[in-house]
Amino acid sequence: MNATATVTATTTLSKTIQSLLTRISSSPELLRGTSELKKKLHTQGDSKSQGTGNQVTDQEACFAALLEESSILYYNHTQTENGFYYIYQVNGTQRAIDFQIFELIDGVKKSIYNFDLKHTKSDTFFLNDGWFHTNVIYIISWVRNLSEPRKKKVTQPSTFIALGQNIPTPDEIALHADLCQIKKKYNTQYKGVDSFHCYIRFANTYKCERFSPDYSNTSLLSVLTFLTPRKRPQVAL
């Protein structure tokens, strides 16, 4: 029995992830270093591969390293041993989800959890596909401004962890719905001019100024509750 199988027998995947996210939340530097797993993720676990289209970020590599420290191992689609595994870039580059974590039991995926990672050196990050996804856990590494007015700039690395559906405000949700209708109209009805055909896609950004310490703690608690084992539909994106 390998280390992963031993962990599976003594603890649950949800508790493992809860512990890991709590560590990341209280120690933002954990996702701000470098890791030798960059090459492994870039080649999707295949040493002969030339790699994916996009470079792996330090944040993603550090997260993968933390997963493996927690006995959640890279899944290359050939393992049959029961245990905890993760897949990188489930739906390819530039598309959610960045990581999918699950427990493999007798060849069947159980307790599937999806993660999307965002990082920025300021207080604004990009949403590559334009919006947040339901029941996806977002881990956002950003920089909080602690400076007083007209004083020397003081910043603090911070991490915000939340479920996608809990991040936007009602007004933001309404605006996004309106924009989606506009996008749908032009992408389905507008035919372009001569040889030129346009296609509208979102490259939206989101500011982290709402992520106060209290709100961050509340959002993390919601994620930890979401991870608590219970009967719920499993959706593999």
Q: What is the 3-state secondary structure (H, E, C) of 46-58?
A: CCCCCCCCCCCCH
Q: What is the pLDDT of residue 9?
A: 42
pLDDT digit string (tens) for 41-85? 877 655 554 445 567 899 999 999 999 999 999 998 888 899 999
Q: Return the pLDDT at 96.
A: 74
pLDDT value of position 217 = 96
Type of residue numbered 7:
V
pLDDT the model gives residue 3: 45
3 state SS of 22: helix
With tokens 């499993």, the residue in question is 234
- The per-residue pLDDT for 93 is 64
pLDDT at 233: 52
Residues 6+ apart with CB under 8 A from 189: none
Residue 166's pLDDT is what? 96
This prediction has a pTM of 0.84
What residues contact residue 16 under an 8 Å CB cut-off, 6+ apart? Answer: 7, 70, 71, 72, 84
* Partners of 157 in beta bridges: 143
Q: How far apart are CA 131 and CA 128, in angstroms?
A: 8
Q: What is residue 7's predicted lDDT score, i.e. its pLDDT?
A: 45
Coil, helix or strand at residue 223? helix
Q: Report the alpha-carbon distance of residue 101 to residue 74 in Å, rounded.
A: 9
The three-state secondary structure class of 92 is coil
Which residues is 99 bridged to in the sheet? 88, 115
pLDDT of residue 167: 97
Task: Enumerate residue ranges in the chain where pLDDT < 70.
Answer: 1-11, 44-54, 92-95, 230-237
On whether the CB atoms of residues 126 and 230 are closer than 8 A, the answer is no
- Pairing, β 136-145 against β 124-127: unpaired
For the chain, the structural domain boundaries read 3-165+203-227
